[in-house]
Amino acid sequence: MTTLKIVAGQDQIFNEAGFQIAGNHDPNLEGGLSPRELLEASLALCVSISLQKIMAYDGVDYDKSSIHIEVSSVKAEDKTNKFSHFNVLVTLPSSLEPAYKEKLKSVVERACTIGNTLRNGAVVELTEANEPVENE
């Protein structure tokens, strides 16, 4: 579970281990990530994890620092307030054979949960929490 709390005017994002990152309302600012940047980062991280798991399963030896993933999102032109496209640019280790690189890309597209969710949509349900009123 992920939780957002506003602390001293700052959006702070927590997981069950505690505070992890600050949120910003606008992109490209210091001190936190915007919702767009967080979404792009989630997709990039999922692709990275999927790549690494597949190569580990296949017993491939590679330099992990040679993997680079860049994600850019494109807003829908019809003004529906959504992203219509995610461009994922992956730099794979140069030591890999071209045929294996193609296999990796194909398998990662099916293995990445975030990518599958974005590709197929998901139900988002907003409900109000019923917090008990504190007595003074």
Q: State the average pLDDT for the chain.
A: 93
Residue 79 included in any domain: yes
Q: Which residues contact 69 (CB under 8 A, 6 or more apart)?
A: 44, 47, 48, 88, 89, 90, 91
Please give the pLDDT value at position 45. Answer: 97
Element housing 75 (H / E) = strand 68-75
Residue 41: Cβ within 10 Å count: 15
Residue 13 included in any domain: no
Number of domains in the chain: 1
Question: Given a cut of 80, is residue 136 above it in pLDDT?
Answer: no
72-78 contacts: CB < 8 A, separation 24 or more?
72/40, 73/36, 73/39, 73/40
Question: Given a cut of 60, is residue 135 above it in pLDDT?
Answer: no
The domain in which residue 113 lies consists of: 33-120
Among 26-40, 72-86, 97-111, 121-135, where is mean pLDDT lowest? 121-135
Residue 104: Cβ within 10 Å count: 21
Is this model's pTM higher than 0.85 or not?
yes
Tell me what the mean pLDDT of segment 118-134 comes to.
Answer: 84
Task: Tell me if residue 124 falls in helix, strand or coil.
Answer: coil
The CA distance from 94 to 100, in Å, is 11
Please give the pLDDT value at position 29. Answer: 87
The CA distance from 33 to 12, in Å, is 10
Q: Which residues contact 98 (CB under 8 A, 6 or more apart)?
A: none
Task: Find the CATH number of the domain harbouring 99.
Answer: 3.30.300.20
Residue 11 included in any domain: no
